[in-house]
């Protein structure tokens, strides 16, 4: 519509006609991507690479930056607050390319138009790069989570078929009141049973993995609670949750094995089924100590997007301000 309005004025130079045609082509490409006409990726490839989202937004952003050359002087002045607001939302608060409204209004019309076009282009380019970085981070999380899921599933199958190769049972000593004198006997505490007849079974590893996964789910819920939402189409909190659940199952199995091998100082053999189950949940939740850094990285990427804390203006430095005594002006 803006291109058609500029053409209807009938005052476009040859230079401006070329720009109008280019803006029109950018808009057509953005529309084709939005309606899956061009490009035409597969559903999985489109979700993984953000093909249609990237194509639509990048072409529309290019059109929005170039159309500034077609604005009249009145339209250009009206666009200044929006240009400054967009730059402040997309660029980091310490980025030297950020500009204030008075500084932009003070420039001559010719340089003002070129400066606004450059600011809009840089703002959108920075925004597109941040979205691509967030999508790449999500993909890395999903890849790592996929490898962990494959490893956990393979371990569950192998240990369930061969429970004696990785037992989760702990021996304990009990006293039997038999005549004429009490005698000591050995039994075991396992995740699925305890007592004199308890022995490693294929269900032990399944119970430990499920409880570890529940601990990981609790950690995922607590981490998502502290992560701010975004307007991006990339579900980073979901990817983090998808990573924490299988990682909780893995840490639960490894933690119980470490206790069996006396690898953790201060922890002796577990002497009841309840203790084993409780430690499985605790070790599943303990993976939060490993994924805490991923939560912090995700929060940093989210804050760098428009509206995040990373784009807020730098507060004024008041360290050098002299305080006045009470009662003085």
Given a cut of 60, whether residue 184 has pLDDT beyond it is no
- Contact between residue 291 and residue 243 where contact means Cβ atoms under 8 Å apart: yes
Across the beta sheet with 183-189, the strand order is: 170-176, 183-189, 194-195
Q: What is the reported pTM?
A: 0.73
Binned at pLDDT 50, 70 and 90, residue 185 comes out as: very low
**How confident is the model at residue 183, as a pLDDT?**
46
- Contact between residue 122 and residue 91 where contact means Cβ atoms under 8 Å apart: yes
**How confident is the model at residue 229, as a pLDDT?**
60
Cβ-based burial of 108 (10 A; exposed 0-12, middle 13-18, buried ≥19): exposed
Q: Which long-range contacts (CB under 8 A, 24 or more apart) does 293-298 make?
A: 294/141, 294/240, 294/243, 295/223, 295/226, 295/227, 295/240, 297/137, 298/137, 298/227, 298/236, 298/237, 298/240
Name the helix (H) or strand (E) containing 46.
helix 43-49
Least confident of 37-51, 106-120, 315-329: 315-329
Q: What is the helix, strand, coil percentage profile of the chain, to 5?
A: 65, 5, 30
**How confident is the model at residue 324, as a pLDDT?**
46
SS3 of 96, please? coil
Mean pLDDT of 113-136: 89
Torsion of CA 93, 84, 2, 18, to 10 degrees: -70
Give bridge partners of residue 173 from the DSSP assignment.
Answer: 186
What span, in angstroms and rounded, lies between the C-alpha atoms of 123 and 207?
51
Q: List C-alpha distances in Å: 24 to 27, 67, 125, 131, 205.
A: 5, 9, 19, 25, 62
pLDDT per residue as tens digits for the range 60-74: 999 999 999 998 888
Binned at pLDDT 50, 70 and 90, residue 246 comes out as: very high
Mean pLDDT of 38-47: 86
Given a cut of 90, whether residue 227 has pLDDT beyond it is no
Give Cβ neighbours of residue 291 (< 8 Å, ≥ 6 apart).
Answer: 219, 223, 240, 243, 244, 247
Helices 51-66 and 109-161 meet at what angle, rounded to 10? 170
pLDDT per residue as tens digits for the range 274-293: 888 999 999 999 998 888 88
What span, in angstroms and rounded, lies between the C-alpha atoms of 201 and 57?
55
What's the DSSP call for residue 187? E
Name the helix (H) or strand (E) containing 195.
strand 194-195
**How confident is the model at residue 319, as a pLDDT?**
45
Mean pLDDT of 70-96: 87
Given a cut of 70, whether residue 264 has pLDDT beyond it is no
Binned at pLDDT 50, 70 and 90, residue 309 comes out as: low
What's the mean per-residue pLDDT of the chain? 82
């Amino acid at each position: 519509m803006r291109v058609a309005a500029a053409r209807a004025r009938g005052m476009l130079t040859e230079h401006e006609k070329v720009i109008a045609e280019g803006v029109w082509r950018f808009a057509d490409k953005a529309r084709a991507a939005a309606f899956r006409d061009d490009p035409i990726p597969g559903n999985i490839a489109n979700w993984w690479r953000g093909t249609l989202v990237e194509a639509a937004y990048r072409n529309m952003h290019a059109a929005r930056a170039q159309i500034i050359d077609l604005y009249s002087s009145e339209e250009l002045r009206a666009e200044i607050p929006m240009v400054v607001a967009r730059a402040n939302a997309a660029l980091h608060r310490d980025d030297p390319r950020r500009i204030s409204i008075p500084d932009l209004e003070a420039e001559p019309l010719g340089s003002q138009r070129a400066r606004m076009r450059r600011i809009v282009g840089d703002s959108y380019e920075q925004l597109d790069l941040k979205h691509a970085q967030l999508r790449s981070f999500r993909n890395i999380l999903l890849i790592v989570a996929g490898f962990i899921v494959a490893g956990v599933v393979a371990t569950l199958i192998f240990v369930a078929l061969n429970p004696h190769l990785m037992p989760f049972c702990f021996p304990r000593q009990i006293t039997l009141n038999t005549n004429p004198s009490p005698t000591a006997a050995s039994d075991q505490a396992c995740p699925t049973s305890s007592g004199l007849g308890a022995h490693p079974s294929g269900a032990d590893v399944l119970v430990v993995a499920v409880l570890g996964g529940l601990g990981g789910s609790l950690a995922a819920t607590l981490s998502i609670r502290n992560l701010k939402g975004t307007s991006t189409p990339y579900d980073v909190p979901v990817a983090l949750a998808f990573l924490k659940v299988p990682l909780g199952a893995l840490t639960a199995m490894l933690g119980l094995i470490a206790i069996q091998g006396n690898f953790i100082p201060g922890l002796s053999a577990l002497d009841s089924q309840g203790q084993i189950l409780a430690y499985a949940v605790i070790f599943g939740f303990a993976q939060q100590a490993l994924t805490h850094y991923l939560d912090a990285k995700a929060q940093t990427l989210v804050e760098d997007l428009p509206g995040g804390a990373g784009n807020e203006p730098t507060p004024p430095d008041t360290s050098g301000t002299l305080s006045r005594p009470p009662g003085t002006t």
